[in-house]
Structure formats: structure tokens, C-alpha cells
Amino acid sequence: MLVKLIKRAINSPFVAYAIRCVTGFLIGYFLIEKFPQHELFWVLLSIILVISPDEKDARKLTIERSKSNFIGSISGLLVFFLPMDDVYKIALGILIALIICRFADLINVARSAIVGLLIVLMEHKTDTYWAPGERFIFVTLGCFIGLSVTLITSYVFNCLNKNFLTENE
């Protein structure tokens, strides 16, 4: 009875997604608490953004969202240095990110690219000149953490299914 309950929980897409989101949140929150002098909220946001609720394609979607988020943040960093108003930088960055996503066959996750771009380019009154570069690093770190959480939990769930649960049926 207990084994069946554990097996259902491990094979539940909702449980897997909940575990990944909570784990990602806790890692991001720990970083925010540990390094309050940095804008690590962007790490936390990127972690949650790349984790997929669709268990069937979780690894694939997380990898694609990470790539897309990276494309968006690098596009934002590239247009940041252009001598034009911010609204035009953002519009141009969105176009560049969408074109890159199209040619990289990532158009289905291009929304993540736009979010990454906005994180890098949206200015706040208290920003330093280096804020977009820092945000690029934080978005990339968040994508790496979200991807790691997804891959590690997939591995753990697969090991539990193969080794523990199949032996105890």
C-alpha cells in the first residue's frame, strides 16, 4: 500500500513540478538572503521561469527555456550599448531575440527570451551602469539552477522507479 502511494507520488507530474518549484525557490531564496547586496531576485525569477510543469517533456522544455532565456538576455546586453532611446533598444532586442529563436528552432519558448531581455534592459532609477551586465549573469545563473534542479530530480525519480519501487511491488 505504501509503495503504491509512493510510486503514484513519484510518477505524478504535479508532485514533480511542485518539488522542482519549491526546491528552485529555496535555492533562489537562500542566495537572496546570503547575498543581499545583489539583485538576486532575477536569479529566482529565472529559476521558476525555466522549470516546466509538463513532466513528459520537462528536461527538453527546461533546456529549451534556458537557451531561450539566455538568447533574450544576451540580446538585451547587445542592444544595451546602442545609442538610442530605451524603448527602441527593447523593441530591437525583442526582434533580435525572436529571430535568433526562430532560427534556433526555439520559437515555442520565445516568450522566455523576451522575459530574459526585459530583465536585462528594464531600467530602474537606482540602477548602476553595470546593472544590465549583472542581470545577464543572474538570468544565466537562474537558468543553470533551474536546469540543474530539473535534471537532478528527473534522475532521482527515475532511480527510485527503477531501483526501489520495481523491487517492492
Supply the DSSP symbol for 85: -
Count of domains in the chain? 1
- C-alpha grid cell for residue 14? 504535479
Q: What is the mean pLDDT of residues 117-132?
A: 76
The whole-angstrom separation of Cα 14 and Cα 20 is: 10
User: How sure is the predictor about 132, in pLDDT bands with cuts at 50, 70 and 90?
Assistant: confident
pLDDT higher than threshold 70 for residue 124: no
Which DSSP string corresponds to 117-139?
HHHHH---TT--TTHHHHHHHHH
User: How sure is the predictor about 145, in pLDDT bands with cuts at 50, 70 and 90?
Assistant: very high
Q: What is the pTM of this model?
A: 0.79
pLDDT higher than threshold 70 for residue 27: yes
Range of the domain at 117: 2-165
Which DSSP string corresponds to 27-63?
HHHHHHHH-TTS-THHHHHHHHHH--S-GGGHHHHHH
Q: Which residues contact 16 (CB under 8 A, 6 or more apart)?
A: 10, 55, 58, 153, 157
pLDDT at 10: 74
pLDDT higher than threshold 90 for residue 51: no
Supply the DSSP symbol for 169: -
Percent of the chain with pLDDT over 70: 92
Q: Is 10 helix (H, G, I), strand (E, B) or coil?
A: helix
pLDDT at 166: 59
pLDDT higher than threshold 70 for residue 63: yes
pLDDT at 4: 76
pLDDT at 74: 93
The whole-angstrom separation of Cα 126 and Cα 118 is: 17
